[in-house]
Amino acid sequence: MALFVHKYGGTSVGTVERIEAVADKLQTFRQAGHDLVVVVSAMSGETNRLIGLAKSIQDQPAPREMDVLVSTGEQVTMALLCMALERRGIAARSYTGGQVRILTDSAHTKARIQDIDVVNIQSDLQAGRIVVVAGFQGVDEQGNITTLGRGGSDTTGVALAAALKADECQIYTDVDGVYTTDPRVVETARRLDRITFEEMLEMASLGSKVLQIRSVEFAGKYKVPLRVLSSFVDGPGTLISVEEDDTVEKPVISGIAFNRDEAKLTIRGVPDVPGVASRILGPVSKANIEIDVIVQNVAADQTTDFTFTVHRNDFDATRQILEQTAQELGAREVAGDNKIAKISIVGVGMRSHAGVASKMFDALAAENINILMISTSEIKVSVIIAEKYLELAVRALHTAFNLDANETVSE
Amino acid sequence: MALFVHKYGGTSVGTVERIEAVADKLQTFRQAGHDLVVVVSAMSGETNRLIGLAKSIQDQPAPREMDVLVSTGEQVTMALLCMALERRGIAARSYTGGQVRILTDSAHTKARIQDIDVVNIQSDLQAGRIVVVAGFQGVDEQGNITTLGRGGSDTTGVALAAALKADECQIYTDVDGVYTTDPRVVETARRLDRITFEEMLEMASLGSKVLQIRSVEFAGKYKVPLRVLSSFVDGPGTLISVEEDDTVEKPVISGIAFNRDEAKLTIRGVPDVPGVASRILGPVSKANIEIDVIVQNVAADQTTDFTFTVHRNDFDATRQILEQTAQELGAREVAGDNKIAKISIVGVGMRSHAGVASKMFDALAAENINILMISTSEIKVSVIIAEKYLELAVRALHTAFNLDANETVSE
């Protein structure tokens, strides 16, 4: 007998029929003797309907009231799921974020969880009830309703699992696990049985949008075993957990992430004096533009070339800012390219294996793919290439690192 | 400068456009320097949509979860109204029942208000904000969401007005006030400028469904001036308040209420012994059937005829119970009539005027309308007549008591 936290996303509870299917699944777990805390999202479409109502009144709706409004979506789902459970003779009780009490800061629409009071939930579990909690929401010190931002239901699930010391947090979604790369690009992509928190973080932040990144950070911090599974198809899913001791058995690379939404900008011939980086990037950050990869090279003439990437939507705005900066700094020119993509190989195994980066570069060179930028971290290597080579590059790397499903890899 | 509690029902906030219209109205009050607390219902149709979802899962949905579900309706409205106010540059803040905190008992789906904490609302008013509160809902000692039952938003408004010692509680609805009788039956029916709480209670319980009866009781108990107005048409509405000192000026009769949903049952030839009334009515009450008018006549032969009315829907069930009772008591027979109606003349003025009842009977006799039962209280006289005479009788009484709009009555 174990304590599981389940989380069901919007499509998993999108209709009354699907809510009934979730209740059936929970009944099976219950009959196996497990304790269950279930986090639910709003029925798919409901959050957008509510946002639409708000936007028809106010372009930039008051954030406090926005949270009051959209938090009703999960509240509807949790009540309906409890009814479906009670109809099956299973005692159940629903809780809003405020009722639990999931204490957050007051940053409306993007609040962060500070504390969870588990007293009520634990007494319900002891009384044999399934506890159903509204995802994505909490309450601040003053009792104002807050939301964690889109996708925050994953975070609610992980935070509850941590607070309750659950055996596993299971995220039910519309995919059956985490893959070595996007199966739409690489037919031979494989579902991973396991992946570490760090790897998952790199995969998620680089574009494999299975889990909200904050929930993975949270799970890693509190060492909550996290499993991604399909709501619709039975299967073991992918377990995201701490690194195993026997890393020898681990493949060097777990997966390949990629991202098409990048654009790159270069400012050339900047006098290389201390503080020049912040003079270039400061105005960009001030405009709320997120900077991703940054590369700087110092030339022989004591000037420097400074290149960085931003989201493709921010390309024009960034370029405008940069032209201004170039003038102020007496730089030679500003260049840009918004037809680029980023590919990253990710794996904790590379820590103990030399030559991973060069193997990556060799594989790309073998396909005549030119590398525009390189960025490395302990468990990943990212390259920026021309967007047109993206699929070719991902397939070449997938094969080079023995990730194809027909390979026999120890995992 | 005064403190008003406004309440807007479902049709008044039924669309985004109507919510905008309410915001316009509130802006006018605000510009006049008034403090405002606004109670809102769910957008019309929303509560039924939510109940429909619940019923598609469970025939008799768990009451606790039903309250969790339907309470979202008002929460949506309150957030949207605050947004509409903020767009007009008016600071506003919304509160659920639990946030206020409107403390109720734990009788889910029909809870009663026990206490209201006004600290938060008062500090918002002092800060110059309009406070918007979800009607119809509260929270029990354990923090469970409760609802007051349908129409409970009126009660929320009155209870808040009482707790805040507001100058007036204004109920905005789709009628422009309380009428001397139903204008669909009597063309010359007049809107009343004033009516007392007691009169309103008699009018409401007798079928003039303008206000939820519990809210009128509440207003009377705490002497909260209550005004019924139209959301759509400007006008003074009807003020419901305590009796004025100068009752001499008051008309004898304020209005005429009627009800078609009645059925009458008679048990004849019952031995007239102590306790016979409870032996007849006890089994009916036990079956959760509400009894309205009761009349008993003792005959010369020491037997008694016992007649009472019930809702027409309960006619068959009551008759069945009564046949059983008649057998046990050795009564002569059971008779019934479900084609009857009740008409009541209501007015605090009748306390100080003799002959009101006989004037009523005269007016009916002049139209050859036979009276089947009579029941009186301090401020009303009710008669049961054959249903087919209903409209004729109401019109005759409306004229006899000088209620027609073309009459010059001091009010």
pLDDT in tens, A291-322: 888 888 777 778 888 899 999 999 999 999 99
pLDDT tens digits for range B112-123: 999 999 999 999
Render pLDDT for B330-352 as a digit per residue (tens, 0 to 9). Answer: 999 999 999 999 999 999 888 77
Closest residue by Cα to residue B39 from B24, B26, B58: B26
Note the pLDDT of residue A406. 64
Is the CB of A365 inside 8 Å of chain B's CB atoms?
no
State the pLDDT at residue B323: 95
> Nearest-CA residue of chain B relative to A56?
B16
pLDDT band at B131 (very low <50, low <70, confident <90, very high): very high
Is the confidence at residue B126, as pLDDT, over 80? yes
SS3 B379: coil
The CA distance from A2 to the nearest CA of chain B, in Å, is 26
* C-alpha atoms less than 13 angstroms from C-alpha of A88 in its C-beta half-sphere: 21
Whether residue A411 is predicted with pLDDT greater than 70 in this model: the reply is no
CA distance A326 to A331: 5
pLDDT per residue as tens digits for the range B376-389: 888 889 999 999 99
pLDDT digits (tens, 9 = 90+) for A361-378: 999 999 999 999 988 888
Nearest to B79 among A20, A65, A92 (CB): A65
Residue B38: strand pairing partners: B6, B132
| pLDDT confidence of residue A296 | 81
CA A305, CA A328: separation in Å to the nearest integer? 16
Is the pLDDT at A77 greater than 80? The verdict is: yes
- Asked if A68 is an interface residue toward chain B (Cβ–Cβ < 8 A), one would say yes
Give the mean pLDDT of chain A: 91
A58/B contact by beta carbon, under 8 A: yes
The reply to whether residue B54 touches residue A99, judged by beta carbons under 8 angstroms, is no
Contacts of A93 in chain B (CB under 8 A): 64
- Position A409 scores a pLDDT of 40
Q: Residue range A4-15: average pLDDT?
A: 95
Whether the per-residue pLDDT at A37 is higher than 90: the answer is yes
Cα separation, A211 vs A351, whole angstroms: 24
Which pLDDT belongs to residue A57? Answer: 96
Inform me whether the C-beta atom of residue A161 falls under 8 Å from chain B C-beta atoms.
Answer: no
**What is the radius of gyration, based on Cα positions, of chain B?**
24
**Range with the poorest average pLDDT among A137-146, A210-219, A334-343, B218-227:** A210-219
Looking at the complex, does the CB of residue A16 fall below 8 Å from at least one CB of chain B? yes
Lowest mean pLDDT among A50-59, A128-137, A277-286, B8-17: A277-286
pLDDT band at residue A229 using 50, 70 and 90 as cut-offs: very high
Residue A29: the pLDDT is 95
Q: Do B65 and A82 touch (CB under 8 A)?
A: yes
Model pLDDT, residue B245: 57
Q: What is the pLDDT of residues B194-207, one digit of tens each?
A: 999 989 988 876 65
> What are the DSSP E strand ranges found in B92-144?
92-95, 102-104, 113-116, 130-134, 137-139
| Lowest mean pLDDT across B178-187, B209-218, B243-252 | B243-252
**Min Cα separation B53/chain A (Å):** 7
Q: What is the pLDDT of residue B410?
A: 40
* Whether residue B268 has pLDDT greater than 70: yes
Judge: A87–B19 Cβ closer than 8 Å, yes or no: no
Residue percentage of chain A with pLDDT more than 90: 70
Least confident range of A24-38, A350-364, B89-103: A350-364
3-state helix, strand, coil split of chain B in percent (to 5) is: 40, 30, 35
How would you class A327 by CB atoms within 10 Å of its CB: exposed for 0-12, middle for 13-18, buried for 19 or more? exposed
CA-to-CA distance for B168 and A362, rounded, in angstroms? 81
Contact B62 A68 (CB under 8 A): no
Conformational region of residue A191, where left means phi above 0, alpha means psi within -120 to 50, and beta covers everything else: beta
Burial call B275-284: b when 16+ CB within 10 Å, e when fewer: ebeeebbebb
When the pLDDT of each residue in chain B is averaged and rounded to a whole number, the result is 91
Residue B221 has pLDDT above 70, yes or no: yes
Looking at the complex, does the CB of residue B98 fall below 8 Å from at least one CB of chain A?
yes
Judged by average pLDDT, the poorest of B153-157, B202-206, B320-324 is B202-206
Per-residue model confidence (pLDDT) at position A248: 52
Cβ-count burial of A288 within 10 angstroms (0-12 exposed, 13-18 middle, 19+ buried)?
exposed
The residue-averaged pLDDT of A228-237 equals 93
DSSP collapsed to 3 states, chain A: CCEEEEEECCHHHCCHHHHHHHHHHHHHHHHCCCEEEEEECCCCCHHHHHHHHHHHHCCCCCHHHHHHHHHHHHHHHHHHHHHHHHHCCCCEEEECHHHHCEEECCCCCCCCEEEECCHHHHHHHHCCCEEEEECCEEECCCCCEEECCCCHHHHHHHHHHHHHCCCEEEEEECCCCCECCCCCCCCCCCECCEEEHHHHHHHHHCCCCCCCHHHHHHHHHHCCCEEEEECCCCCCCEEEECCCCCHHHCCCCCEEEEEEEEEEEEEEEEECCCCHHHHHHHHHHHCCCCEEEEEEEECCCCEEEEEEEEEHHHHHHHHHHHHHHHHHHCCCEEEEEEEEEEEEEECHHHHHCCCHHHHHHHHHHHCCCCEEEEEEECCEEEEEEEHHHHHHHHHHHHHHCCCCCCCCCCC
B93 Cβ under 8 Å from any chain A Cβ: yes
The pLDDT value given to residue B349: 82
- In this predicted structure, the answer to whether residue A169 has a pLDDT above a threshold of 70 is yes
> What are the chain A neighbours of B102 within 8 Å (beta carbons)?
none
Which chain B residues touch A53 with a CB distance below 8 Å? 16, 76, 80
Please give the pLDDT value at position B64. Answer: 97
Confidence (pLDDT) at A408: 42
Instruction: Sheet containing B255-271: give its strands across.
Output: B291-298, B303-311, B255-271, B333-346, B380-386, B373-377
Residues of A in contact with B68 (CB under 8 A): 75, 78-79, 82, 94, 96
A377 phi/psi in degrees, rounded to 5: -135, -175
Which residues lie across from B168 on neighbouring strands? B4
Q: What is the average pLDDT across B234-253?
A: 78
Nearest Cα residue to B181 out of B348, B351, B395 = B395
Report the C-alpha gap between A189 and B40 in whole angstroms. Answer: 54
B303 and B332 Cβ atoms separated by less than 8 Å: yes
- β-pairing, B380-386 vs B333-346, is antiparallel
Ranking A78-87, A241-250, A399-408, B295-304 by mean pLDDT, the lowest is A241-250
Structure tokens belonging to residue B234: 């400007």
Q: Which of residues 276-335 of B touch A (CB under 8 A)?
A: none
How would you label B376-406 residue by residue, b for 16+ Cβ within 10 Å and e otherwise? Answer: eeebbbbbbbebebbeebbbbbbebbebbee
Q: Taking CB atoms and an 8 Å cutoff, what residues of chain A touch B19?
A: 57
For chain B, percent of residues with pLDDT exceeding 90: 71
Domain residues of chain B, as ranges? 3-174, 256-400
CA atoms within 13 A on the CB side of B194: 14
The CATH code belonging to domain B256-400 is 3.30.2130.10
pLDDT value of residue B300? 72
User: Which pair of tokens denotes residue A315?
Assistant: 């390309």
CATH code reported for the domain at B3-174: 3.40.1160.10
Q: What is the rounded distance in angstroms from the CA atom of residue A204 to the CA atom of residue A212?
A: 7
Chain B residues within 8 A of A75 when measuring between CB atoms:
68-69, 71-72, 75
- Confidence category of residue B208, pLDDT binned at 50, 70, 90: low
Per-residue model confidence (pLDDT) at position B377? 84
